[in-house]
Amino acid sequence: MNKIIMLIWLSMFIQCQSQKIDKYMIPIVDNKYEKFDIENFLKNSVRGTLIVKSNDATVVEDKQSYGFIKQVYKKDDIFCHTVLYYPTGKIKEKGITFNNGTEIGIWFYYDESGKLLKEENMDEGYDFKPADIIAYCEKNKIDLPKGYHDSGYQARVLKQDFEGKKVWRISHQIAGDKIEEIILDAKTGKELQKKTVPFYNP
C-alpha cells in the first residue's frame, strides 16, 4: 500500500514539474520559409484586418507599411507567434513575442527572395531570462495576458534601455485609473524602479 501511495505521489510531482517547465518555456520557431496569402486577406479582411478564431487559437492578419503581419495567439498561452511579410507576401522575419510585449528567443530574417539572411538571439545581454520574468510576475501576482484580447488594458513586458543599461519594463493595471510600472535589471532581475502612474481610458 505504501508503495502505491508513493508511486501516485511521485507521478503527481513529476506532472506538476512538467507543467511548470512547459509554462516557462518559450515556444520553438523553425526557420522554414512562409508566404502570406494575399488573395485570401484581400477577400476577407475588414478595414485592413482579418481575424480568424478557432477553439485553440486566434490568428490576426494586418496590412502594414512594410507589407503584412500575421500573429498567432494560442489559447491560454502568454506568447505570440509573429511573422512579418514583404508587400509581395514573401516572408520578412519571424519569431516569438510576449503577448502585448517584446521580442524574445531566436528571430529569423529573410531577404526579398525568401533567402534566410540571419538569425538573432533577442535575449542576448538579458541574463534574467523570459522564464524569470514569468516567475517574477507569478510571484508578484501580475497577470500576463493569455491568448488574444481585442480590448481592455493588458499587462505589458518590454525590453528597454534605462540609465544606460538594458532592463525589463513590466506595466500592469492595479486599479481602474492606475498602472504600476516596474523596471528590472536585465542581468540580475533586481528592481531598479517601481512607480504608479495614472491610466486614462480613452
Interval 11-35: pLDDT, tens: 443 344 434 445 567 888 999 999 9
What DSSP designation does 85 have?
E
State the average pLDDT for the chain: 88
Q: Which of 51, 36, 27, 1 is nearest to 107 (CA)?
A: 27
Look up residue 187 and give its three cell numbers.
Answer: 542581468
Contact 54, 72 (CB under 8 A): no
Interval 33-43: pLDDT, tens: 999 999 999 99
**What contacts 11, CB < 8 A, 6 or more positions away?**
none
Q: Which of 184, 186, 101, 94 is nearest to 146 (CA)?
A: 101
Q: What pLDDT is stored for residue 201 in this prediction?
A: 66
Which segments within the chain are labelled E, that is strand?
Answer: 49-53, 57-64, 67-74, 79-85, 91-98, 103-110, 116-121, 156-162, 165-175, 178-185, 191-198
Using 50, 70 and 90 to split pLDDT, how confident is the model at 202? low
Higher pLDDT among residues 198 and 16, named by residue: 198
Phi, psi for 78 (deg, rounded to 5): -90, 0
Interval 68-91: pLDDT, tens: 999 999 998 999 999 999 999 999
Every domain of the chain and the residues it spans: 27-121, 130-198
Q: Which residue has the cell 507576401?
A: 89
Q: How far apart are CA 200 and CA 181, in angstroms?
A: 15
Using 50, 70 and 90 to split pLDDT, how confident is the model at 10? very low
Alpha-carbon dihedral 55, 72, 159, 131, rounded to 10 degrees: 50
Interval 136-191: pLDDT, tens: 999 999 999 999 998 888 999 999 999 999 999 999 999 888 999 999 999 999 99
Over residues 52-62, mean pLDDT: 95
Contact 165, 184 (CB under 8 A): no
Residue 31: HSE in the Cβ half-sphere, 13 Å Cα cutoff? 13
**What contacts 137, CB < 8 A, 6 or more positions away?**
143, 144, 155, 157, 170
Q: How far apart are CA 114 and CA 126, in angstroms?
A: 30
pLDDT at residue 1 greater than cutoff 70: no
